[in-house]
Structure 1
Amino acid sequence: MYLLHLHLHGLFRARNLELGRDADTGGQTLYVLELVKALAGQEDVERVEVVTRLIEDRRVSSDYSRREETICPGAQIVRLPFGPRRYLRKELLWPHLDELADELVRHICRRGRRPHWIHAHYADAGYVGALVSRRLEIPLLFTGHSLGREKLRRLLATGQTRAQIEKTYAMSLRIDAEELALAQSCLVVTSTRQEATDQYARYGRFHPELATVIAPGVDLERFHPARDSDPSFPELDDLLGQFLRQPQRPPILALSRADRRKNIPALVAAFGSSERLRRQGNLILLMGSRRDIRKADREQREVFQQVLELVDYHNLYGQVAYPKQLSSDQVPRLYRWAAQRGGVFVNPALTEPFGLTLLEAAASGLPLVATDDGGPRDILSRCRNGLLADVTNIDQLRTAIERLLGQPKRWQTFAQNGLEAVQHHYSWVAHARRYLSQGADLVKDYSLPRSALTLAKAPGMTARLGRRLLYCDLDGALAEADQDSLQALNNRLHATRPQTSFGVLTGVGPQQAKEQLAALELPPADVWICRNGTDVSYGPDQDQDLAWRDHIREGWDRAALENAMAEFQDCLTLQPPSQQGDYKLSYWLNGEDLSLVAAIRQAIREQGLRAQVVLVDHVFLDLLPFAGGRPDAIRHVALQQGILLEHILVAASQHGDGEVLRGLPLGVVLANHDPSLDELRQQRSVFFARRPQAWGILEGMDHYRFLSR
């Protein structure tokens, strides 16, 4: 098998993970690394790749600028560039993900071999994985790790407004990406039953029968109880002794990044309000790696500030340790150090999808107190090695810790239970075997398409296109052009043929497009992408691309879509038959209402229909096949013809054209464009012309030196 994993945000490398450096480098990073190593060790796996982001930034290690890095025999990290070179938090990656999807398709084509499946981790990777999956027809597996709808619900409960949440977390993009990934996935891998029944179930595109629970494992070579042959821990004694007056006391240990969801201030409050805990133990908080709190992001600073204020309020000096950082090699020793002193590991997170640190602590012989949510429920029900608590109730959290700390008999029972259960239930080898079995069963009957990797010509195609391809929007960019600008464009195209081919994008059918183009006195197009990307044909005779029709028809149910639109009949008007298509259902929107468009999308999701909703020029609403549309049609033609995406120039000006201007193809926005396209000004492959109409197209060609590419 050849397996490909997508893990895009944060900092990912083969060794010395910078866990807790920020909100983007946490348990998911460790899970992906350990999973990939376990998969590479299986006999029937030849190659595993983790695709992540290439980063060139003096603020982070140069490790993240290496194109490839070996994890272990059979497993490799592949870093692809997309967006700015510098390190970005995950909420700022969204505008650049289409670029990565294009790069990943190119990477797979260069390999000349299709992965058996792509496994996408988190919403950003789910978005990219869904695009690549449908373009190359590769099965997609998805793990959300944490889900946007659940996070939105909890943030709203704290009193934040939707506008505040959207500004900070780009939540609408995240939820849309999760819906897209769930619609495209053939398997959803979860860590707990609660994820499937409570969290994924909130998504219209989620199909419970495609979900499987595979609990992560723990590296038992690294995490184990103290042995007689183990050296003492002088470096930990020295480090923690800087904070603690009586470091020999049993520690209450918490290990997480400084994130509101991790709820560390509640643990400090519980400790500070208990005379018994203060008399018997110490509190040790490892809140990620930090160099300077002042340079941390706002949420981290707020968490640190709350912790320090609580330490001061309860006068906990000499009883609380919060070291700046521990190396990844020191973390296993910290667990063993705490277990030797009869300590307790506490996870007070408000929500915990799984909780790998709980397994690490259990494998090291530490009993647990954990949030009564998600993963901890499953872990403690199997391991019987600790207590669950409602962590929103300080009294309950405090009482649970008091019931373990300083209770030798109960402590010993829980510690032994944890050691035995982790060995039995949470081995990475067992996880990898079950994972491969589930994946192989689902994808073995996946119909392999005519391979896009061979770059074979589509049926009906009579000639190859040139090495460059110019697409113009027939409904906007060309429709408003004056005769002089059209003549200048015509002359430029004729002078560079056959190296440069000409294509049109339009919402109308092929025959109407041909008539409109002739009226502009432009030559017939080499490529016709009509009916909003559901109809592709070639040359003056408009030879149909039958492979494209086969590709987009899966799951298309026009009658069901018409029934779904019946509830919106007062707000929509069906367009005439001339504007419909076999794979295009078109309406006029009676007045511009974005909330109505959102409601239509939600209705289609909830009814399990595989269709996308596209709004063009504010009033033309089209329902298209899930795999159709102009962006995918452009890439289909490029794959069939072997044309580099950087050798494609797309000219656009209408509302709704933004979707065709994302990714690697070059874009030019004409001066007479709809204001909605201004949001693309930060895209590095989009040029805003100073001139309108076809003059702007020519300006864009000169800007990119397009004809010399």
Structure 2
Amino acid sequence: MSELIQAILDSEEKSDLRSFMSQLRQHDQNYLLRNDILNVFGEYCSKSEKPDNFYTSSHLGKLIYYTQEIIQEDSNLCFIIRPKIASQEVYRLTADLDIEPMTTEELLDLRDRLVNKFQPQEGDLLELDFGPFYDYTPTIRDPKNIGKGVQFLNRYLSSKLFQDAKQWLESLLNFLRLHHYNGFQLLINDRIQTQQQLSLQVKKAIGFVSDRPEDEPYEQFRFQLQMMGFEPGWGNTAGRVQDTLNILDELIDSPDPQTLEAFISRVPMIFRIVLVSAHGWFGQEGVLGRPDTGGQVVYVLDQAKNLEKQLQEDIILAGLEGLNVQPKVIILTRLIPNSDGTLCNQRLEKVHGTENAWILRVPLRDFNPNMTQNWISRFEFWPYLETFAIDSQKELLAEFHGTPDLIVGNYSDGNLVAFLLARRMKVTQCNVAHALEKSKYLFSNLYWQDLEDKYHFSLQFTADLIAMNAANFVISSTYQEIVGTPDSVGQYESYKCFTMPDLYHVVNGVELFSPKFNVVPPGVNENAYFPYTRTEDRVQEDRDRLAEILFTLEDPSQIFGKLDDPNKRPIFSMARLDRIKNLTGLAECFGQSQELQEHCNLILVAGKLRVEESGDNEERDEIIRLYHIIDEYNLHGKIRWLGVRLSKNDSGEIYRVIADHKGVFVQPALFEAFGLTILEAMISGLPTFATQFGGPLEIIQNKVNGFYINPTNLEETAAKILEFVTKCEHSPQYWEEVSRKAIDRVYSTYTWKIHTSKLLSLARIYGFWNFTSKENREDLLRYIESLFYLIYKPTAKKLLEQHQYR
């Protein structure tokens, strides 16, 4: 990128750069982000009457395109440039157009000075650098392979391991000896003592089972295999056992990464799983629409059900039914004594539709009953996590009668609890972020001190650094969640380098090229969410009842607004009422477009209707704002606002009722990490308009099975929806076409069967590599513990002291 800057300085564009820098210095802001920079450059091009191609094709235009931030200090400008995905370069340009590369440390100091201009930093801040811990581990080179960690890890470590045949066979033999269930040995017994015996006995066993009928049950020849050295776990029929042994035989004789993955994916090594979703209001009824719930609760419940189902299938295929192997999945959350009519005060609750999946609720210790007996916002929950993890360990050991095989954290607090549990129990840890707040709140790290009383980002961002580096593997729903797009920074990428002034500098917070990252998108609950055309699976009474609630029912306790014309095409959205979900932005978009109001009604399913009913500051602010927008744009008669709590089945049917009325679904979030509601709407058959900021970019194929919108541009958003609606009025088959393609998109890519198979495969493979590579992570884990005990814990203690007086 320095060459591009030099090319500008060596050309006639040097005067343009000087003029553009002069215009920047006149700007009100000292810190400009990418959109601001592009707008200022566009103004410059227009004001200077530049030709159309100058904006994109000139050297200066290219430099501006790659520039993520510009910071002004005195007469100098600092350009933070992102020449490619997961890469950053920083340069200082002086008034004389001298160019100087800047180090990461210099950049962080500059950002600090921007915040503390009247209180200069005295002495050095703590620098956090995780880079050295990844120096001796394999890293991906090509950015396009980020998120495909397990494939890379298989290739890399296989090539190393396979080079030494003796070491490889010894590692494989020792790995096969590891596995047991409740005292029962699995896979191989003491009759196989050496690598040579393993190879010979595998061939002997293959010959034995190949002479038997393929469908002969395992139990009928179990004794003969045991005499050869093979215990249960190879298969449930002669054909399955032969297939598994053939894969192992090929792996022994001519190993390759694909065969290794195929074999390890069959090894029975995971029976007990913990899914951590810590901060509460986690239940199966009465929790959706409450603060801090929604997509995460739906995701974890569906994941639990489908993981149990997949484990059961795997156990049957492995031939372990005879040992009475019972997989168990536990969702770990907090118990809320004052549970507002929900079951969140119940210690143990069985997950509907499962045999052995449970919600285990562990109470918080009573530091102050006014706090711990009630729901606590995710922004305030941090002081309770360590003792919650300690107490949860005892409960989990009791429920499982042993340790779990895998712990999956969800959200920032759940991931920190997963780290604490995995560290104490020496269990494989997987992280799922869902949404990292740092990307959602602009400058949240830079001005953390101003936001600390409300959001406590010092705790949240520290917890994120701890959990993402401690995890054995991380699953994200999308590629861009990790490293963004060519012109936007990813959620994890935003943790690479940042400052929290007066707290610490993060010089290298995460290794984005680590093979721990894997893209595994969630699925949709196909029992609750399915196409509106499947009328045989729909209940007419529910259909009529929900249509009445959506369009005509008058019930001031849970519905605001009466429609003048209920037959207009509905624009529908369903989400929490918070700033990021931006339902108020959609209402304002609708309010500003008279044409849209002529064609459509706006129907929102969104939390509470009254400020006094909400205990969440952000929700209260949004309630006030929504009423203000309705009055300002006189939307009475054109909008319905439903403050209802829906069961999952009702939630699914509501989408279908909207589809019956040929409506559209709009997801207007300012940022969306993934977007489960988008999948729910699409599989129901609703043409969907979704934010272009985040995961929807990978779910929707624009103008094919849905549409991107920029929710910050209200006029453009209204125009896109209006264009679709008017096209459907002239050509009704267009709505049907987009609807059908939306349904097809979900079924081909986003099912829970795909998700759970991949997740369990990853857990087995990472467990295998942790064993065979003998990776010593103790130095990294000790560094992480230092961060926990020296930064996180003292800060959490201060917040706990504040809670004592509430």
Q: TM-score, normalized by length of structure 1?
A: 0.63
Match in the other structure for 2:753:
429
Find the aligned partners of 1:179 and 1:52 in 2 and give their Cα distance.
22
* Residue 299 to residue 630, structure 1, CA distance change in 2 (3 Å): closer
* Residue 443 to residue 285, structure 1, CA distance change in 2 (3 Å): same
Structure 2 residue 367 is the aligned partner of structure 1 residue 78: no
Match in the other structure for 1:274:
593
Find the aligned partners of 2:545 and 2:589 in 1 and give their Cα distance.
28
Task: Tell me which amino acid in the other structure corresponds to 1:53.
Answer: R
Select which of 472, 475, 494 maps to 1:202.
494
Match in the other structure for 1:441:
765
- The 3-state SS of whatever aligns with 1:261 is coil
* Structure showing greater relative contact order (alpha-carbon pairs closer than 8 Å, 6 or more residues apart): 2
Find the aligned partners of 1:247 and 1:225 in 2 and give their Cα distance.
23
Select which of 12, 21, 25 maps to 2:290.
21
Match in the other structure for 2:404:
115
- The 3-state SS of whatever aligns with 1:260 is coil
Find the aligned partners of 1:163 and 1:418 in 2 and give their Cα distance.
44
Match in the other structure for 2:566:
247
- The 3-state SS of whatever aligns with 2:403 is coil
Structure 2 residue 328 is the aligned partner of structure 1 residue 47: yes
Match in the other structure for 1:178:
464
Match in the other structure for 2:30:
none
**Offset of residue 192 of structure 1:** 0.8
Find the aligned partners of 2:424 and 2:466 in 1 and give their Cα distance.
14
Match in the other structure for 2:278:
8
CA RMSD of aligned residues (A): 2.9
Given that 1:289 and 1:326 are in contact with CA atoms closer than 8 Å, whether structure 2 keeps it comes out as: no
Find the aligned partners of 1:679 and 1:427 in 2 and give their Cα distance.
41
Given that 1:118 and 1:139 are in contact with CA atoms closer than 8 Å, whether structure 2 keeps it comes out as: yes
Task: Tell me which amino acid in the other structure corresponds to 2:418.
Answer: G
**Offset of residue 182 of structure 1:** 1.0
Match in the other structure for 1:648:
none
- The 3-state SS of whatever aligns with 2:475 is strand
Find the aligned partners of 1:188 and 1:362 in 2 and give their Cα distance.
27
- The 3-state SS of whatever aligns with 2:690 is strand
Match in the other structure for 2:660:
340
**Offset of residue 289 of structure 1:** 4.7
Given that 2:610 and 2:623 are in contact with CA atoms closer than 8 Å, whether structure 1 keeps it comes out as: no
* Residue 27 to residue 366, structure 1, CA distance change in 2 (3 Å): same
**Offset of residue 153 of structure 1:** 2.4
Given that 1:19 and 1:289 are in contact with CA atoms closer than 8 Å, whether structure 2 keeps it comes out as: no
**Offset of residue 207 of structure 1:** 4.1
Task: Tell me which amino acid in the other structure corresponds to 1:69.
Answer: E
Find the aligned partners of 2:788 and 2:644 in 1 and give their Cα distance.
49
- The 3-state SS of whatever aligns with 1:80 is strand
- The 3-state SS of whatever aligns with 1:166 is helix
* Residue 290 to residue 312, structure 1, CA distance change in 2 (3 Å): closer
Given that 1:97 and 1:128 are in contact with CA atoms closer than 8 Å, whether structure 2 keeps it comes out as: yes
Find the aligned partners of 1:213 and 1:193 in 2 and give their Cα distance.
6
**Offset of residue 683 of structure 1:** 8.7
Alignment gaps of 5+ in structure 2 = 1-270, 316-326, 366-371, 484-489, 496-508, 555-561
Given that 1:250 and 1:282 are in contact with CA atoms closer than 8 Å, whether structure 2 keeps it comes out as: yes
Select which of 102, 106, 111 maps to 2:390.
102
Per-residue CA deviation, residues 435-487 of structure 1 (Å, 9 max, x unaligned), is: 111221111343499xxxxxxxxxxxxxxxxxxxxxxxxxxxxxxxxxxxxxx
* Residue 134 to residue 335, structure 1, CA distance change in 2 (3 Å): same
Deviates more, 1:84-93 or 1:293-302: 293-302
Match in the other structure for 1:319:
638
- The 3-state SS of whatever aligns with 2:332 is strand
Match in the other structure for 1:34:
302
Given that 1:344 and 1:404 are in contact with CA atoms closer than 8 Å, whether structure 2 keeps it comes out as: no
Find the aligned partners of 1:138 and 1:369 in 2 and give their Cα distance.
41
**Offset of residue 307 of structure 1:** 1.6
Structure 2 residue 704 is the aligned partner of structure 1 residue 384: yes
Task: Tell me which amino acid in the other structure corresponds to 1:195.
Answer: E
Match in the other structure for 1:87:
375
* Residue 398 to residue 626, structure 1, CA distance change in 2 (3 Å): closer
Given that 2:274 and 2:331 are in contact with CA atoms closer than 8 Å, whether structure 1 keeps it comes out as: yes
Task: Tell me which amino acid in the other structure corresponds to 1:26.
Answer: G
Given that 2:362 and 2:391 are in contact with CA atoms closer than 8 Å, whether structure 1 keeps it comes out as: yes
Find the aligned partners of 1:343 and 1:427 in 2 and give their Cα distance.
24
Select which of 543, 546, 555 maps to 1:236.
546
Task: Tell me which amino acid in the other structure corresponds to 2:517.
Answer: A
Given that 1:18 and 1:289 are in contact with CA atoms closer than 8 Å, whether structure 2 keeps it comes out as: no
Structure 2 residue 733 is the aligned partner of structure 1 residue 414: no
Given that 1:130 and 1:140 are in contact with CA atoms closer than 8 Å, whether structure 2 keeps it comes out as: yes
**Offset of residue 256 of structure 1:** 0.5
Deviates more, 1:388-397 or 1:295-304: 295-304
- The 3-state SS of whatever aligns with 1:44 is helix
- The 3-state SS of whatever aligns with 2:491 is helix
Given that 1:223 and 1:364 are in contact with CA atoms closer than 8 Å, whether structure 2 keeps it comes out as: yes
Find the aligned partners of 1:76 and 1:88 in 2 and give their Cα distance.
22
Given that 1:182 and 1:206 are in contact with CA atoms closer than 8 Å, whether structure 2 keeps it comes out as: no
Select which of 715, 718, 722 maps to 1:395.
715
Find the aligned partners of 1:413 and 1:402 in 2 and give their Cα distance.
17
- The 3-state SS of whatever aligns with 2:314 is coil
Alignment gaps of 5+ in structure 1 = 450-549, 557-609, 612-623, 632-655, 663-676, 685-709
**Offset of residue 324 of structure 1:** 1.7
Task: Tell me which amino acid in the other structure corresponds to 2:544.
Answer: P
Match in the other structure for 2:416:
127
* Residue 395 to residue 248, structure 1, CA distance change in 2 (3 Å): same
**Offset of residue 161 of structure 1:** 4.7
Find the aligned partners of 1:244 and 1:390 in 2 and give their Cα distance.
28
- The 3-state SS of whatever aligns with 2:586 is helix
Per-residue CA deviation, residues 344-401 of structure 1 (Å, 9 max, x unaligned), is: 0000000000111111111111001111022211110299311101111111111111
Given that 2:448 and 2:458 are in contact with CA atoms closer than 8 Å, whether structure 1 keeps it comes out as: no
Task: Tell me which amino acid in the other structure corresponds to 2:494.
Answer: R
Select which of 682, 707, 711 maps to 1:362.
682
**Offset of residue 51 of structure 1:** 0.6
Deviates more, 1:33-42 or 1:294-303: 294-303
Given that 2:574 and 2:606 are in contact with CA atoms closer than 8 Å, whether structure 1 keeps it comes out as: yes
Q: Choose between structure 1 and 2: higher helix proportion.
A: 2
Per-residue CA deviation, residues 661-698 of structure 1 (Å, 9 max, x unaligned), is: 99xxxxxxxxxxxxxx87765799xxxxxxxxxxxxxx
**Identical-residue share of aligned pairs (%):** 29
**Offset of residue 114 of structure 1:** 2.0
**Offset of residue 402 of structure 1:** 0.9
**Offset of residue 179 of structure 1:** 0.5
Find the aligned partners of 1:383 and 1:444 in 2 and give their Cα distance.
43
Given that 2:349 and 2:360 are in contact with CA atoms closer than 8 Å, whether structure 1 keeps it comes out as: yes
**Offset of residue 555 of structure 1:** 4.6
Find the aligned partners of 1:435 and 1:682 in 2 and give their Cα distance.
40
Find the aligned partners of 1:336 and 1:383 in 2 and give their Cα distance.
21
Structure 2 residue 523 is the aligned partner of structure 1 residue 217: yes
Task: Tell me which amino acid in the other structure corresponds to 1:244.
Answer: L
Task: Tell me which amino acid in the other structure corresponds to 1:86.
Answer: N
* Residue 319 to residue 683, structure 1, CA distance change in 2 (3 Å): closer
Given that 1:82 and 1:96 are in contact with CA atoms closer than 8 Å, whether structure 2 keeps it comes out as: yes
**Offset of residue 237 of structure 1:** 3.7
Match in the other structure for 1:60:
340
Select which of 375, 388, 393 maps to 2:695.
375
Structure 2 residue 642 is the aligned partner of structure 1 residue 298: no
**Offset of residue 658 of structure 1:** 10
Select which of 147, 150, 155 maps to 2:439.
150
Task: Tell me which amino acid in the other structure corresponds to 1:77.
Answer: I
Q: How does 1:665-680 map to 2 (within 5 A)?
A: none
- The 3-state SS of whatever aligns with 1:11 is coil
Deviates more, 1:359-368 or 1:37-46: 37-46
Q: TM-score, normalized by length of structure 2?
A: 0.55
